[in-house]
Chains A and B, each alone.
Chain A
Amino acid sequence: MKQQNIRWGLVIFITPMLLWLLLLIVLPQLDMLFMAVRAENDLGEMGFSLINFKTFFFEPIYWRTFARTATFAIFVTFLTFVITLPVAFYITKVVSPKFQGFLAVLILMPFWVSELVRVYGWMILLRESGFINHFLVKFHILDKPVEMLYNDATMIMGLVYTSMLFMLVPLLSVLESLDNSLIEAAYDLGANMWTILIKIIIPHSMPGIVSGSIVVFMLTLGNYLTPNLMGGKNGLWFTEQIYNQFIASFNWNQGSAFGFLLLILSSVIIWVGLKLSKQKLGQVMQ
């Protein structure tokens, strides 16, 4: 019976899935790759060429931005983890259960607000005419206001701020599932807080840490808004290079090559991360 009847349930459920994934994910990526390996030849005709990739490797500005973006994104991911782990631990394990739900809601609230509003908030806090400078000058800590925007440190802080939610949520859920008696048992067997952190809490939280890190890393790598508005003018982010190729130079083939490289970069780093932490993507993302 199963062999002859068409399984209508399956057909109904799978059709929109296939359309979505094929038309909006697979084909566009293939088209991007196709565009990336094409360029005009000397006669002005389009044809297969690796010139776009060659440009990338021979123009220091491009590959340096690329390397810088990758390094910063890894650093931002690590920093986000270090900052949010104590917070997630406090909410799930330390604070009295009365406030637990309230704190969890409160902490997620700002992230529902548009990234643009959040970045804008930082801008009016930090810029030369901003809130912090106003008070520093008023209380004579500074003689005249200094520009705190447009440097790497501020940009990193902005990127951490923007993506903290995506580390906090998996950490909260994975720490929620950590049985308190494991911590107590380790304590009873002579462990101190540091050993408990290294031997019990972090190994238990690994799936959450990895899934949070993947999302944070990916969002940071692909972020345009925060580096553009908070970063320095000479410290480009790779997405800005892509944007420039598409919108300013109108060189779509070059832009596609950059896009493809960014995609490879994010895939490789995520793959390495999964290997190092011995986790599987399918499990981590659920």
Chain B
Amino acid sequence: MQESGKDSIDLSVHNATKNFGDFVAVDSVSFDVEKGKFFSILGPSGCGKTTLLRMISGFIEPTVGSILIKNQDMAGRPPNQRPVNLIFQNLALFPMMNVAKNIAFGLERQKEKKAVIDKKTEEILERVGLPGFGEKKVDQLSGGQKQRVAIARSLIMKPTVLLLDEPLGALDLKLRDQMKVELKTLQNQVGTTFVYITHDQSEALVMSDHVAVMNNGIFEQVDTPQNLYAKPATPFVAQFVGENNKWEITIDKVSERKALGITKEGFKFSMPLEENLQNDDILQFFLRPESILLQPDPSIRDLNRFFVSVKTILFDGANSRILALLPQSRREIQISLPQNRQFDHIKIGDKIEAGWNPGSAITFPQEKVVA
């Protein structure tokens, strides 16, 4: 990102802060989005992502900080004069107009000629896969079709940045999965910069070039989807992106070659040796369900091996898990259950061996309790 010139940055947010009374909704957030990228902001509800999006679109003025679009400061510019368009969570299609009128709305405001508007409307309907839908009423459309009309209505304005506020939230699961792919493909074709906010990690991970994980008004991490998953920068990211088993462990013994982690329940395992690791350090320790191998081959060396008893099998297709109890404790852990028929014999109550490579664990020093 650093070496690309300033011209390639479509959206640049510096130090954006928004206070509502005493409450800080967005706290000094800065980021750049390169031209043509799909950038997502992922966070739980109430994390400030909607506020941030509304600041970019101009519905809220930031308390502090600046927002630059194509190097132009947007301060004081109302939403109707910004080169960005927003796709609303509920889409906000105008029920009093038909599809074509909805799409033409923005161009009509620019006093575009009618013939041009008609032509562009037709083109964009074609592009989103709804040719000939112009005369339909909004309430005659299915959920997916409404989605596409909303996108068409904004894209026809040729915005520098298209902002999307969880537009897939209202769709059912199958359609949502389909729209994710469509949206990504469409973004590739038109080459418009997308800024997408969502609380659904799968939407963010599937579509985005970069994802910012947001929590309590700050960005915890901005990275590629792969890195967010593999190398979370904070405990929050580790927990929010993907599933994780979490422990608090105490470092027991540091030798030249390895360290030992002990959970509260007294469960011990070896740890990767990192710098600065001291005896009696307390760490937060995360382990993904798929990092735990079931019945690992005896030939694999250096695994933390242990026996667990199967409590429940959570069958969910490719995403199936075992909920297992660790020995001598009531502590539950989740273990991925690959559906390759190899583990079909496992039943509730079985005692089975499991193991993981110390290198696959993710650890953080104990969080200071922030008031």
Residue numbers of A with Cβ under 8 A of B are 179, 181-182, 184-192, 195, 199-200, 203-204
B96→A184 contact, CB < 8 A: no
A54-B81 Cα distance, complex, nearest whole Å = 64
**Main SS of chain B's interface residues?**
loop
A190→B96 contact, CB < 8 A: no
Q: Which residues of B contact A199 (CB under 8 A)?
A: 94, 96-97, 105
A188-B157 Cα distance, complex, nearest whole Å = 10
Q: Which residues of A contact B105 (CB under 8 A)?
A: 186, 189, 191, 199
Task: Select one of A184, A187, A190 contacting B110, CB under 8 A.
Answer: A190
Closest B residue by C-beta to A192: B80
**Main SS of chain A's interface residues?**
helix
- Shortest CB-to-CB span from A103 to chain B, Å, is 22
Select the stretch in B84-92, B221-229, B239-247, B284-292 that faces chain A.
B84-92
B90→A187 contact, CB < 8 A: no
B153 at the interface (CB under 8 A from A): yes
A187-B58 Cα distance, complex, nearest whole Å = 10
A186-B80 Cα distance, complex, nearest whole Å = 8
Q: Which residues of A contact B157 (CB under 8 A)?
A: 189-190
Q: Which residues of A contact B81 (CB under 8 A)?
A: 190
Per-position contact with A for B76-104: 1 when CB-CB < 8 Å, else 0? 00111100011011101011110000000
A188-B91 Cα distance, complex, nearest whole Å = 12
Residue numbers of B with Cβ under 8 A of A are 57-59, 78-81, 85-86, 88-90, 92, 94-97, 105-106, 109-110, 153-154, 157
A230-B105 Cα distance, complex, nearest whole Å = 48
B88→A189 contact, CB < 8 A: no
6 closest pairs, A vs B, by CB? Answer: A189-B106, A203-B96, A185-B92, A190-B109, A181-B92, A190-B80
A195-B108 Cα distance, complex, nearest whole Å = 10
Task: Select one of A188, A192, A195, A203 contacting B85, CB under 8 A.
Answer: A188
Closest A residue by C-beta to B59: A184
A190-B106 Cα distance, complex, nearest whole Å = 6
Which of A189, A199, A203, A204: most chain B Cβ within 10 A?
Answer: A189
7 CB-based A-B contacts, threshold 8 Å: A182-B92, A188-B59, A188-B86, A189-B157, A190-B80, A190-B106, A190-B109
B96→A187 contact, CB < 8 A: no
A186→B94 contact, CB < 8 A: yes
Q: Known: A190-B157, A191-B80, A192-B80. Contact between A185 and B94, CB under 8 A?
A: yes
Closest B residue by C-beta to A193: B80
B79→A187 contact, CB < 8 A: yes
Q: Which residues of A contact B90 (CB under 8 A)?
A: 179, 181
